[in-house]
């Protein structure tokens, strides 16, 4: 409130100074002119501060806009990457399903039970939902006659079961 009162008085002071200026003493005149100079200096300082604050706010707004733009680009890129990853995952699952089918067909063409076991195992590993391969693998494992008797000594660390295959390939799966 005080500054607005002062601001409203300055036109009166300047007109009074014009009118009574010649009759003022040197000391009074110097005081009035010093007051006017101080007022101008304060006003200039206020203007500089105002412009500096506006410049700082403008710079901050530009920086915020730039950061928003970068964040938006990163969000869009992340969305595209997520869609691409889902597509790749689906494609990978389709390829594994197809590989499982090929392994099952190859296993059914094998005469050697060990090769048949390997292909069926890979078919089930590639696609655990391949029920035909799973059932056929289970049947092959549970059949005692699936593996011919052998007289080879088992690898170190494995025990011989029924003079045939190592314990890793027995009917109970252990």
Can you give the pLDDT at residue 111?
A: 87
Burial class (CB in 10 A: 0-12, 13-18, 19+), 92: exposed
Cα 3 to Cα 10, 15, 37, 46, distances in angstroms: 11, 19, 16, 13
Residues 163, 152 contacting (CB under 8 angstroms): no
pLDDT for res 161: 52
HSE value, Cβ hemisphere, 13 Å, CA-based, for 98: 6
Phi-psi region of 163 (alpha: psi -120 to 50; beta: other; left: phi over 0): left
HSE, CB side, 13 Å, CA atoms: give it for residue 97. Answer: 9
Residues of the chain predicted below pLDDT 70: 1-11, 13-14, 16, 21, 144-174
Q: Residue 72 has what pLDDT? A: 97
Could you give phi then psi for residue 166, rounded to 5 degrees? -60, 160
Handedness of CA 129, 131, 132, 133 (dihedral sign): positive
Determine the pLDDT at residue 125: 93
* pLDDT at residue 153, as a whole number: 57
């Amino acid at each position: 409130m005080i500054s607005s009162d002062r601001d409203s008085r300055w036109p009166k002071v300047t007109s009074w100074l014009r009118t009574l200026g010649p009759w003022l003493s040197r000391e009074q005149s110097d005081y009035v002119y010093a007051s006017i100079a101080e007022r101008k200096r304060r006003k200039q300082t206020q203007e500089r501060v105002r412009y500096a604050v506006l410049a700082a706010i403008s710079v901050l707004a530009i920086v915020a806009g730039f950061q928003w733009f970068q964040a938006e680009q990163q969000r869009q890129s992340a969305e595209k990457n997520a869609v691409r990853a889902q597509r790749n995952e689906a494609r990978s699952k389709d390829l594994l399903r197809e590989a499982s089918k090929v392994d099952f067909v190859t296993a059914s063409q094998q005469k050697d039970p060990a090769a048949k076991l390997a292909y069926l195992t890979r078919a089930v590993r590639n696609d655990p939902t391949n029920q035909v391969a799973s059932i056929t693998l289970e049947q092959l494992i549970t059949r005692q006659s699936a593996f011919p008797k052998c007289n080879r000594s088992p690898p170190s660390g494995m025990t011989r079961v029924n003079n045939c295959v190592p314990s890793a390939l027995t009917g109970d799966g252990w």
